[in-house]
Structure 1
Amino acid sequence: MKFSYRFSNLLGTVYRRGNLNFTHDGNSVISPVGNRVTVFDLKNNKSDTLPLATRYNIKCVGLSPDGRLAIIVDEGGSALLVSLACRSVLHHFHFKGSVHSVSFSPDGRRFVVTKGNLAQMYHAPGKKREFNAFVLDKTYFGPYDETTCIDWTDDSRCFVVGSKDMSTWVFGAERWDNLIYYALGGHKDAIVACFFESSSLDLYSLSQDGALCVWQCDTPPEGLRLKAPSGWKADLLQRGKEEEEEDGDRETTVWGKATPAEEEKKGKVKYSRLAKYFFNKEGDFNSLTAAAYHKKIRLLVTGFASGIFHLHELPEFNLIHSLSISDQSISSVAINSSGDWIAFGCSGLGQLLVWEWQSESYVLKQQGHFNSMVSLAYSPDGQYIVTGGDDGKVKVWNTLSGFCFVTFTEHSSGVTGVTFTATGYVIVTSSMDGTVRAFDLHRYRNFRTFTSPRPTQFSCVAVDSSGEIVSAGAQDSFEIFVWSMQTGRLLDVRVLSGHEGPVSGLCFNPMKSILASASWDKTVRLWDMFDSWRTKETLALTSDALAVSFRPDGAELAVATLNSQITFWDPENAVQTGSIEGRHDLKTGRKELDKVTAKHSAKGKAFTTLCYSADGQSILAGGMSKFVCIYHVREQILMKRFEISCNLSLDAMEEFLNRRKMTEFGNLALIDQDAGQEDGTAIPLPGVKKGDMSSRHFKPEIRVTSLRFSPTGRCWAATTTEGLLIYSLDTQMLFDPFELDTSITPGRVREALRQQEFTRAILMALRLNEDKLVQEALESVPWGEIEVVSSSLPELYVEKVLEFLASSFEVSHHVEFYLTWTQKLLMLHGQKLKSRAGQLLPVVQFLQKSIQQHLDNLSKLCDWNRYNIQYALAVSKQRGMKRSLELPGSEEEAEASEDDSLYLLGAGDGTDTKEKGCWGRAGHGGLFQ
């Protein structure tokens, strides 16, 4: 149970591709991120990734009207029916083809998917238990090219489908007599979106060339007539009618039957075009890529390939607002139920923005790394994670909310290493641009820039435990540079020379001033920072060193080498203490263009990142594979292996060659089928009429670039091709008892509480190890008896109570009560716990993180109250001085105005201020209201 980490959250990736959706209440945005789905809670400022994944990247998401169910469809046509309430998969389905869009009817009884050049309507899954969740009802034909968009009428009687063949098709959800289908033209490019008007069959259609057509229907929705049944249905209906006429119960009307005169009067549904508008009035070609329409307030939002969006009021087509929000094409647009917030997704840069158009302000503005993440580091209290990417950006993420709150863009090239200082308020980064920079998290600025005498590229960075010494390894000159944090200059001995290959990793001993450097020259060197900067020891390896890490107590050193081994060393005696062979644990996949099998390609793979756990008993390893391994250091065995991704849209995921892609002309993967066919891309080359002839299809390879355990030991993070993955122990309910026997039950715990035997009840609850029961036992103890009960707890159970208190601080409102428990336990058992300081360090850091969160929240609240009071006083002074100028003068007021040390506090209700006021001293004269 100690290694039962499960996927908790995905950071660093906010949007990939697909359509955005707002939840039913309009407070959250559902965004597809690769093959996962993230829910951004805008009210509570929190992001949460659902614990489910599809086989390929998500293509579209359909949300039910009540917001409880979602249909998630990937690029391969596989669909998941997901319950958003319990965050679980209810049903799997395959549509046998690529699906472009999916939409539920407003009544929630049906949903339509567009697949190829047809539309299919299914019965939506209900609340009762069903054998088959998806039942095909009808298939609608008509368009000659791929269908692109769907929209329903408010009464769920009809739906409209847009197509790439420049036509718009209106279909009836039932067998209507006067409307089977209706095709609308009038466009010269592919249809991007089409929308019905509220409570009407009138609709709008938008094409990619920026044209809007307004269509009017001569029939209201109530004018649709059901078609008379035929065949066996008609016979069955006629038989039932005859039986009812014989019984004489009631008169029955035949569906759709009318007199000939009524048939002539009531013809087929007809559409006419009222108007046609154009967005590109200046004549510049700017493809329309996404659109959304709010039927109640009649607000149309359109996004374009240049990153500009427009707000129009329909049907008059009045421009309300226009803004450029990105350099790339806007891929998806969504409006919440109230019409206040608009969400935009840009797949080119991975941006997600939520715009409040009435106040013209951002509600949410997030963007991941443009290229892959390279490195990460936890803050000492575990509240923040800093990441560096190949795009030269340094981002800081809040682990509680999942949002990035600051981005540093000072580096001009890829970031290769990031780390926190011991205080947690300074970030040090290294880059290929030849600089090492220090960033301040108080003022959010780059306050130090470290450079070398000769231009060089830095591949790694490390800071000692005091935060005074900064070191970075060079990739081209094979040297290690050491600076002072205070002065920003190189120390007396400028460089540490001795390596004969690029420096791949640096790590300081947490307890001593010893620096370990790993290099491709098959050595690890230990440098003494206080003893003339000499090489203390040189550890000879059998292969190139790729990563190095010290144990938290500094008594052991782990090195990952190119031959897939992890070797452990005693840094004091320079003796190897063990090794782990990880070649078979990597299990790398086969790339699309590989000529060898996955088994043979694994020979060139290795672990590229290492990290010790908080207690130092296990080590986390990852590299050029989709697996992350946890090894037990002492036993040197594999404890658990985590598969970080099952996304087949990434390269090196499959173990066997796909024979369907092999033709007589070679592998189909060599043919770039996506070039020049991207919708809505800009035109960088002259003469290109459609698409971008210089674009090429890119399939990223799955790999793990960096791993770090949280200082609390409750979770670990990995930077991968998909983003920043968080695996945690706090996302599940597990039965993990501790020294349990048959005499311990929840009933006996509550019986002990009724008898006020609090110590025995707490011990039994801790042995059952159920959070609800432990919470009940601790909160039953009176406040005055906390010290007595704390002193009677055995030392072995004190750690368990502290760990529970740390986790309870994050969710409970009884802050003072739990703080009292924490204080008494640490004061009474502090001396005994010092002997196990190394094992208790993660628990203490977990406590510190939880208490620090409350401190930050309270300090923000106090600052907010203080500023509000100051503002109220300032406004009161201003109004009082204004009132003193408007009051009629008198002798007494004249005397008061002459004395600058007196002021009058008025009643402010229009009565005599002298009667209800009071005199006081002030530094200036005047009246306060």
Structure 2
Amino acid sequence: MKFAYKFSNLLGAVYRQGNLNFSTDGNAVISPVGNRISVFNLKNNTSETLPVSTTKNITCVGVSPDGRLAIVVDEDGAALLVSLVTRAVLHHFHFHKPVSGVRFSPDGRKFVVTKENVALMYHAPGKRREFNAFVLDKSYYGPYDETTCIDWTDDSKCFVVGSKDMSTWVFGAERWANLIYYSLGGHKDVVVGCFFEKDSLDLYTVSQDGTLCVWESDTDLDGLVLKKKSGEGGSRNEEEEEEEEEEGEGREGASKHFFNKEGDFNNLTAAAFHKQTHILVTGFASGVFHLHELPEFNLVHSLSISQQRIASVAVNASGDWIAFGCSRMGQLLVWEWQSESYVFKQQGHFNNMAALAYSPDGQYVVTGGDDGKVKAWNTSSGLCFVTFTEHTSSVTCVAFTASGFVIVSASLDGTVRAFDLHRYRNFRTFTSPRPAQFSSLGVDVSGELVSAGAQDSFEIFLWSMQTGRLLEVLGGHEGPVSGLCFSPVQSILASSSWDRTVRLWDMMDSWQVKETLPLTSDGLAVTYRPDGQELAVATLNGEITFWNPNTATQTGSISGRHDLEVGRKDTDKVTAKQLAKGKSFTSVCYSADGESVLAGGQSKFVCIYNVREQMLVKKFEISCNLSFDAMEEFLDRRKMTEFGSLALVDEGAGDGDGVNISLPGVRKGDMSSRHFKPEIRVSSLRFSPTGRSWAATTTEGLLVYSLDGSMVFDPYDLDLDVTPASIRKQLRLQEWTSAIVLAFRLNEKALKQEALETVPHEQIPVVCGSLPDIYVEKLLGFLATCLETSGHLQFYMMWAQNLLMLHGQKLKNRSGSILATLQALQKSIQRHFDNLSKLCDFNMYSIRYATALSKQRGMKRPAAPEDEEDEEDEGLSDEMSQASLDDDDMRL
């Protein structure tokens, strides 16, 4: 139970590639992120990543009309049938070729998959009892090149498919007598979108060169006649059947329109059509989008929302919100076109994440990336609420001060910057006398001292947060300074370096070296235990060594080289087993109680070790995405040549003689190469101060793993008489304390909540006073989790207050073990405080505005009729609703 961490959320990446979808109610956007699916709830401003992953990056997603099922297809054509209700995988299927689109019919009975130049129609799962979830109904051939888009008629009788060969094909979902297939031309470029008009066979097609064709049909949907089977209406000869195959309902190109008349815009890249409002949305490679009303082609709206290519467009059911995805920047935007405002605006780090840090209460996470941005994320909503762009080069390290309202970041641009989370500004910039690239960072407990280590001059710089002045330059290391950490209880700074030493600097005694700890290999990371009595150091030989900083003696070591289990890259000529000898942990972090250590590095695995036993407790595989390099342990020998992998030989540049293999030590890949597979690795990881979760910055993004104790039965001191019946009996007898003790021994959340909420509020101090010491900590932890979700705010606050007041001295003596519980309680209370203070401030401003408005109108007119008062109230409510909308907008 203690280490039952499960994948909880993916932050730092909101959109990569593929198509966007809205949920049925229109309140959520379903976005593919790498090989996972994220659901962004626009109503509650929360994000959730489903615990479902494919083997490669996702290219298309189809959502059923009732919003219960989704078909997810990756780059290779491997498909998953996912329940959006239970978040579980229901079925696996493989289409064996890359799939360009998946679309359910409006009645939910069928879905069409397009791959290469074929359209395949399947029976939708759940509508019929089938042993196999995907049952092929018909295959449709027509286009000569790859298919690009699909759309259905409203009654699910026909569907249309667009192709790269500039043609559009209309197919009948049934065997219609007057429609088998129909081919439409008229375009001079790839067809990007094709859409049926509402309750009609009229058709709109959009091509990449910015051309819209309007096709009118002389046949209604009701005019489609089912083809009679042989035997019902007499047999036909083959010639008649062939003639009928060729014919369909008559169509004529009614009109043709052009988007880029002035030549301002380049390629049209994405399109969506809302049938109820007849609004066509088109996105372009320049980041511009247009709204047109069809069939008149009246321009409603034109705006540039990005500097990059718009890869996907989706419109919600009501037609109010439009979602845009920009794959190159990793942007996801939702635009309300009638009010011309953003509903949602998020962007991840478009390069690798390099560092992360938790706030002291665990409510926020800050990340720094190779793109030079520092982003702050809310752990409960999973969304970014502020981005700082002052750095001009890669951010290597980030940290919070003890107050939790100041973020400090170090960068390769030669600056260390401090950001204020109250005013969202950069209020301090620390620099060195000579330009230096800072690779490590440390902030002391008081928040007054800021230190940064340089990787080129081998020096450590110390600044004062209060004045911004450089206090001292600490020299002595003979290699780049790789890690810095201040002691939580003393004014001592520990620094690790590539010169195979860890130095302890005394901040009180003239910044002199107090101790020098010799290492067996280059030091890569150093961290203090939360009580300051132990030091953990990760070295280049794959070991984690533990030291007593008071006596300068080594207390233990863990060899983690075999636990890394690195994969083999496509360009590697040696086996993964040999490669593992050169790998190591690059980030180490203690758990909140100090008993365990979390380690990660150049591998897809994150390990948790027990410090006392010096053994591996649990290992997490952070990704199974084969789109990344160094994922597989063994490569297919049949594809190996003297130059390396055959896949790389095929992609070789030039005339075929040269092979594109990167030089030794190159991590980022060849910049001139058209194809680049990023290597999977963990750059930084941290335990949450509450101990309930941990986060890691990886090639995929910011992965959060948390404890999910709802499904695990974990009793404490269980006995035969500890049953739900005995708990309820004690409650009926009003034996509150014994009922609570029994509930905590059974350790089921529902029973604990029932026992607590049955206690009358005036009895809370009595129960808290008579509670045994061993259950005080358990009850505080339970209160912390209840406060996050429960609406009984004052009731649970009374419990917390009485427990802390009556048992404060005993808890103080056990401060080390109870620290995580107290921080979890502080996080819950702080979140409620922030929400309520915002609400109260907003209400105060609203009341002031109302009184000022009434005084102003009272001065003009002493007596106002009733109808005018109603108008005034209506205007006030409009102002307030607009203010609340503005307040809820996300800051990018």
Aligned to 1:356: 336
Distance 1:59 1:672 in 2: 23
Query: What residue in structure 1 maps to residue 724 of structure 2?
Result: 746
CA–CA separation in structure 2 for the residues paired with 1:624 and 1:647: 16
Q: Give secondary structure in 2 for the equivalent of 1:810.
A: helix
Q: Secondary structure at the match of 2:802?
A: helix
Counterpart of 2:780 in structure 1 is 802
Paired position in structure 1 for 2:840 = 862
| Corresponding residue for residue 607 of structure 2 | 629
**1:632-679 superposed Cα distances (whole Å, 9 cap, x missing partner):** 000000000000001000111001113464468863332575999xxx
1:706-737 residue CA offsets vs partner (Å, 9 max, x unmatched): 01111100001100000001100137521111
Counterpart of 2:663 in structure 1 is none
Contact 1:342–1:354 (CA under 8 A) maintained in structure 2: yes
| AA in 2 matched with 1:103 | R
How far apart, CA to CA, are the structure 1 residues paired with 2:673 and 2:259? 27
Cα distance change on mapping 1:474 and 1:45 into 2, 3 Å: same
**Corresponding residue number in structure 2 for 1:846:** 824
Matches within 5 A, 1:125-524: 125-126=125-126, 130-230=130-230, 234=231, 268-283=248-263, 286-491=266-471, 494-524=472-502
Separation in 2, partners of 1:119, 1:80: 19
Aligned partners of 1:746, 1:716: CA distance in 2, in Å? 33
Counterpart of 1:763 in structure 2 is 741
State the one-letter code of the partner of 1:870.
Answer: R
Q: Structure 1 218/675 Cα, relative in aligned 2: closer, same or farther at 3 Å?
A: farther
* Corresponding residue number in structure 2 for 1:561: 539
Could you tell me how far 1:282 is from its partner in structure 2? 1.7
Q: Any conservation in 1 of the 2:181–2:248 contact (CA below 8 Å)?
A: no
Secondary structure in structure 1 of the residue aligned to 2:739? helix
The aligned amino acid for 1:765 is A
**Amino acid of the residue matched to residue 625 of structure 1?**
S
Displacement of 1:698 in angstroms is 1.3
Whether the 8 Å CA contact 2:502–2:523 is kept in 1: the answer is yes
How far has the Cα of 1:256 moved from its partner?
12
> Structure 1 residues 740 and 910, CA, compared in 2 at 3 Å: closer, same or farther?
closer
1:58 maps to amino acid: I
Structure 2 CA distance for partners of 1:664 and 1:144, relative to 1, 3 Å: farther
TM-score, scaled to structure 2: 0.93
2:198 and 2:276 in contact (8 A); partners too: yes
Partner Cα separation in structure 2 for residue 575 and residue 674 of structure 1:
54
Determine helix, strand or coil for the equivalent of 1:765.
helix
Please give the per-residue CA displacement for 1:413-456, whole angstroms capped at 9, x wherever unaligned: 00011000000011111000000011111111111010100011
**Given residue 536 of structure 2, which amino acid in structure 1 is its aligned partner?**
A
Matched, 1:60 2:60: yes
Structure-2 change in CA distance of 1:664 and 1:176 (3 Å)? farther
**Aligned counterparts of 2:329 and 2:29: Cα–Cα separation in 1:** 18
SS at match of 2:861: helix
Q: For 2:828 and 2:236, how far apart are their aligned partners in 1?
A: 68
For structure 2, list consecutive stretches of 5 or more residues without a partner in the other structure. 655-670, 869-892
Deviation at 1:883, TM superposition (A): 2.3
Change (3 A) 1:462 1:753: same
1:577 aligns with 2:555: yes
Aligned counterparts of 1:460 and 1:832: Cα–Cα separation in 2 = 38
Counterpart in the other structure of 1:924: none
Aligned counterparts of 2:585 and 2:724: Cα–Cα separation in 1 = 46
Between 425-434 and 663-672, the greater mean CA deviation after superposition: 663-672
Instruction: Report % sequence identity.
Output: 73
Q: Aligned equivalents of 1:312 and 1:818: distance in 2?
A: 54
Task: Measure, in 2, the Cα distance between the counterparts of 1:820 and 1:315.
Answer: 64
Look up the equivalent residue of 1:864 and give its one-letter code. F
Per the alignment, do residues 110 and 525 of structure 1 end up closer, same or farther by CA in structure 2, a change over 3 Å counting? same
Distance in 1, matches of 2:672 and 2:303, equals 28
| 8 Å Cα contact 1:196/1:203 also seen in 2 | yes
CA spacing shift, 1:576–1:282, aligned 2, 3 Å: same
- Aligned partners of 1:675 and 1:694 also within 8 Å: no
Pairwise CA distance, 1:267: 7.7
* Contact kept? 1:177, 1:256, Cα under 8 Å: no
Map of 1:244 onto structure 2: none
CA separation of 1:578 and 1:52: change in aligned 2, threshold 3 A: same
CA contact (8 A) 2:180 2:248 kept: no
**Which residue number corresponds to residue 800 of structure 2?**
822
Contact kept in structure 1, 2:265 and 2:284, CA below 8 Å? no
CA distance in 2, matches of 1:413, 1:106: 49
Q: State the distance in 1 between where 2:653 and 2:48 align.
A: 34
Alpha-carbon separation, structure 2, partners of 1:734 and 1:622: 27
Aligned CA distance change for structure 1 residues 335 and 556 (closer, same or farther; 3 Å): same
Q: After TM superposition, give the deviation of residue 866 of structure 1 in Å.
A: 0.6
Question: What's the CA shift string for 1:101-124, capped at 9, x where partnerless?
Answer: 000000000000001110100000
Residue type of the alignment partner of 1:573? T
Is the Cα contact below 8 Å between 2:180 and 2:247 reproduced in 1?
Answer: no
Aligned in 2, Cα 1:462/1:357: closer, same or farther, shift over 3 Å?
same
CA 1:255 to 1:276, structure 2 compared with 1: closer, same or farther past 3 Å? farther
TM-superposed CA distance for 1:95, in Å, is 1.0
Q: Which amino acid aligns with 2:161?
A: V
Q: Would the aligned equivalents of 2:201 and 2:216 in 1 still touch at CA under 8 Å?
A: yes
Q: Once the 2 structures are TM-superposed, how far is the Cα of residue 743 of structure 1 from its aligned partner?
A: 2.4
Q: 1:208-234, CA deviations, whole angstroms, 9 ceiling, x for partnerless residues?
A: 11111111111011111111112xxx3
Contact 1:154 1:199 in 2 (8 A): yes
Q: Does 1:48 align with 2:48?
A: yes
1:713 match: 691
Q: Residue 672 and residue 388 in structure 1: after superposition, are their counterparts in 2 closer, same or farther (change >3 A)?
A: farther
Structure 2 counterpart of 1:648, from 626, 643, 647: 626
Does structure 2 retain, via aligned residues, the 8 Å contact 1:226–1:256? no
Counterparts in 2 of 1:110 and 1:910: CA distance versus 1, 3 Å: closer
User: CA-to-partner distance for each residue in 1:181-210, whole Å, 9 max, x for gaps?
Assistant: 001111111111100000001111111111
Q: What's the CA shift for 1:26?
A: 0.3
Q: Specify the alignment match of 1:3 in structure 2.
A: 3
Does the aligned pair in 2 maintain the 1:672–1:697 contact within 8 Å?
A: no
* Structure 1 equivalent of residue 890 of structure 2: none
Asked if the contact 2:109/2:127 (under 8 Å) is kept, the reply is no
Superposition deviation, residue 508 in structure 1: 0.2
Cα shift readout 1:34-90 (whole Å, capped 9, x = no counterpart): 000000000001001111111100010000001011001111111111111111111
Aligned structure 1 segments of 4 or more residues deviating by more than 3 angstroms? 127-130, 253-257, 659-666, 671-676, 906-911
What is the CA–CA distance in structure 1 between the aligned matches of 2:734 and 2:496, rounded to whole Å? Answer: 60
Distance between the aligned counterparts of 2:739 and 2:467, measured in 1? 58
SS of alignment partner, residue 209 of structure 1: coil
Q: What's the counterpart of residue 665 of structure 2?
A: none
1:867, 1:747 → 2: CA distance? 52
| Cα distance between partner residues in 2 of 1:5 and 1:65 | 34
Task: State the partner residue of 2:789.
Answer: 811
Equivalent of 2:850, from 863, 869, 872? 872
Change (3 A) 1:109 1:736: same
Work out the CA distance in 2 between the residues paired with 1:670 and 1:869: 68
Distance 1:628 1:129 in 2: 43
**Separation (CA, whole Å) in 1 of partners of 2:172 and 2:762:** 72
